[in-house]
Chains A and B, each alone.
Chain A
């Protein structure tokens, strides 16, 4: 039955998808294709849509696949299934949190994980920006429009902190960048 398949398929995705959506795409691909819900080409398109719409990529994809297979109930079941494992895991950790975090061994692990994750986030940010500014990272051909937009948006975002108390919010930056994208590339 399609509802049960969606439930178990996306529970599996939610439970085994470590490291954010990009790390999880091979797993998602594996699950979705093994059930034969949709073809490879359609899945690639759905991943692209999930990346260009708001919200967590994994949740978007679950909603999309569920809806395409079984309408609104399918979308609800797939979305709930992909969210449920992390929801429960965090609740369990929260209830046990104080004891767990005080354990010296856990603290030793966290001391290593924190700077590592900061490093990963830093590298991801730098890589994304360079990836947009250079058309091809191997021969250093610069995408002038994207570079100017990056410089302009950075200036507005970081510069606004000197003028306003908290600067403009990340949400305002997203809105501004969408308008800038339409204006620069569309007109």
Chain B
């Protein structure tokens, strides 16, 4: 099978089964692109996630463009992104044309009650994988725990403090440490 067709079909499958926003999709893309196809490594997946979170637009689109470009340049990026978008485009287009009361259909509502539970599990799974492969140094761990606790409190109390603000704080802290102590990776090698 040609790589372009493979990219298209793989991302169409991810697009068709991604519910509930970008974080759940990380588990699907990791499963498809890292474990099954070996198109990118786990570290690259982490890089894409960081880039996707720090740039505008849907995370899914960012990931598809990245993986597609890496495999087959511009054509690959285009095909992977089209694959990602096409299933949901068709589903929504059909709903908007023919179904005025989509959310009132009982079995759809019931299926979605089940799916949202799976979405929570998939997001937790993505987080656990990332934590396992994280640098085992003190500073990243502290940043991780602090931002997890902060984000949890933001969610529970519906605070008006976005995840982007949280990321800016983490980046600023990391920059300060860099300016004071230099590059930890280089120090590690020197020892």
**A residues lining the B interface (CB < 8 Å):** 14-23, 45, 48-60, 63-64, 67-68, 72, 75, 79, 82-83, 85-87, 89-91, 93-94, 101, 104-105, 107-129, 131-132, 137, 146, 149-150, 153-154, 157-158, 166, 169-171, 173-182, 184-186
In the bound complex, do residue A115 and residue B140 qualify as a contact, i.e. CB atoms below 8 Å apart? Answer: yes
**Nearest Cβ in chain B — how far from A3, in angstroms?**
16
> For B169, what are the chain A residues with a Cβ–Cβ distance below 8 Å?
116
**B residues lining the A interface (CB < 8 Å):** 13, 15-28, 31, 35, 46-47, 49-62, 65-66, 69-70, 74, 77, 81, 84-85, 87-89, 91-93, 95-97, 102-103, 106-128, 130-131, 134, 139-141, 143-152, 155-156, 162-164, 166-167, 169-175, 177-178, 183-185
Q: How far is the CA of A90 from the CA of B59 in the complex (A)?
A: 11
Q: How far is the CA of A45 from the CA of B110 in the complex (A)?
A: 17
> For A15, what are the chain B residues with a Cβ–Cβ distance below 8 Å?
56-57
Interchain residue pairs with CB less than 8 A apart (21): A14-B57, A19-B164, A51-B19, A55-B88, A56-B58, A59-B60, A64-B95, A64-B96, A79-B89, A86-B62, A111-B178, A117-B50, A122-B131, A123-B147, A128-B120, A129-B117, A129-B124, A166-B35, A170-B31, A181-B111, A182-B107
Q: How far is the CA of A53 from the CA of B87 in the complex (A)?
A: 10
> For A178, what are the chain B residues with a Cβ–Cβ distance below 8 Å?
111-112, 114-115, 118
In the bound complex, do residue B117 and residue A20 qualify as a contact, i.e. CB atoms below 8 Å apart? Answer: no
In the bound complex, do residue B140 and residue A56 qualify as a contact, i.e. CB atoms below 8 Å apart? Answer: no
In the bound complex, do residue B47 and residue A174 qualify as a contact, i.e. CB atoms below 8 Å apart? Answer: no
Q: Contacts A45-B103, A124-B23 given: A105-B134 contact, CB under 8 Å? A: no
**Nearest Cβ in chain B — how far from A29, in angstroms?**
15
| A23 partner, pick from B55, B144, B145, B162, beta carbons under 8 A | B162
In the bound complex, do residue A146 and residue B117 qualify as a contact, i.e. CB atoms below 8 Å apart? Answer: yes
In the bound complex, do residue B65 and residue A170 qualify as a contact, i.e. CB atoms below 8 Å apart? Answer: no
**Nearest Cβ in chain B — how far from A80, in angstroms?**
9
> For A115, what are the chain B residues with a Cβ–Cβ distance below 8 Å?
134, 140-141, 143-144, 147, 170
